Amino acid sequence: MGYPEMSDDCVQMYFKVKGPVTQFLGRAHLCRAQLCAPKSAENLEEFENCVTQYMKAINFAKGEPRYYFLVYNASVLYWQMVRPFLKPGYHHHLISSLSQIVNVLNQTEEEDKEWRAELMLELLDCYLQAGRKEEAAKFCVTAAPFIKANVPQKYRHMFSVMVRHELLDELQLQEEKKTSVSLAVTYHVNMLKAKLDKNEFPEDVNTILKKAYKHLSNYNHQRFPSVREEKILLLFELARLSLTLKCEEISSGCLSDLKGIDSKVSEGWRWACSTCSSSSVAVRTYQAKGRGRNSFFFGLFLLYVFVFAYVFLLLSFYRHISCILKRSLKLMYVIAFTKNLSCIQKLCVSCRILGS
């Protein structure tokens, strides 16, 4: 409700009383953590203090099954707090606390498996951003099977990270890509990205791109509507990589396929699909059209506000004039039927006052 000082006083009084050990102890730690949340990513001291309070709540709750919900609540609040730290140079500050939270969520067998998978992927990214590749590879041994079995829609992203950063053995990756078309395309795309990251340009790049495009051509989205969105993402990713590698033939084919998949795409996207001579032209035109549409709707909104304000002022003016006319008519009526001059004089004074 916007009274942090009052909240802080209440929390301080609660801890001074030393009441019974119930769920409210965990809730009090969560309240204290939110009160001491860092104002910016630069204040690491406040960050550490805040994390300590969240971990106190989690360590308290994980020992009693009826308090497991507090572990989930703490993980959500924690993630909201650390969002400003998800930028280059700060990921390593999250690894210790985030890895503990992921482990506790696994221990308590949290039912929201998609949330657990999301935190696993973020932890993997923190390992990689911090340059701790060995720990990332070790983490994938347990995280990848969990995501594949419980949250399959996120496994392709997991697989792409493992391929690009070489977190699994090459033979394992080769076997894994055979299980589906999407993984095969993802493997080829991210293998090329890994080469580009090392400033290596493979000689058979056109062959690899054509092989990936052939896989996608056999990906029947009409027979299996559930793969439609995935195919769109893969086509766009392959088109972008092909343009980066100056293979316009593949990028043009990908964009044509995208146009054929979705007949309801915007005119800007249709234009980009039909003229893909360069990625910069297509993307900039699409963005420019988007900005144009935004400006148009914003202009309509301003026009609507102006018209509304104008009508409101007119109504207010007419209402005021109507009120003055009614009072004037009443005064004239009184004057017409009143013979007392002094009364007429008083009414004239009143009329002048009203007129002013």
Of 138-147, 193-202, 298-307, 308-317, the range with the lowest mean pLDDT is: 298-307
Judged against a pLDDT cut of 90, whether residue 151 lies above it is answered with yes
Per-residue pLDDT band at 335 (split at 50, 70, 90): very low
Strands, E, within 11-81: which ranges? Answer: none
Query: Do 126 and 98 meet the contact criterion of CB atoms below 8 Å apart?
Result: yes
pLDDT of residue 15: 85
- pTM greater than the 0.85 cutoff: no
pLDDT of residue 219: 78
Tens-digit pLDDT profile for residues 2-43? 778 888 888 888 888 877 888 999 999 999 999 999 988 888
Q: What angle do CA 192, 195, 197 make, to 5 degrees?
A: 110
pLDDT of residue 315: 58
Q: At what angle do helices 68-82 and 44-61 cross, to 10 degrees?
A: 170
Sign of torsion, CA 334 336 340 344?
positive
Tens-digit pLDDT profile for residues 80-99? 999 999 999 999 999 999 99
pLDDT of residue 271: 45
Between residues 72 and 354, which one has the greater pLDDT? 72
DSSP summary character for residue 40: S
pLDDT of residue 202: 78
pLDDT of residue 21: 87
pLDDT of residue 331: 52
Judged against a pLDDT cut of 70, whether residue 248 lies above it is answered with yes
Q: Identify which of 165, 151, 163 has the alpha carbon closest to the alpha carbon of residue 119.
A: 151
Judged against a pLDDT cut of 90, whether residue 129 lies above it is answered with yes
Query: Do 60 and 70 meet the contact criterion of CB atoms below 8 Å apart?
Result: yes
Q: Render 281-305 in DSSP notation, one character per residue.
A: HHHHHHHHHHHHHHHHHHHHHHHHH
Judged against a pLDDT cut of 80, whether residue 70 lies above it is answered with yes
* pLDDT above 90 coverage of the chain, percent: 53
What is the distance in angstroms between the CA of the first residue and the CA of the last residue of the chain? 47
Task: Tell me the residue type at 279.
Answer: S
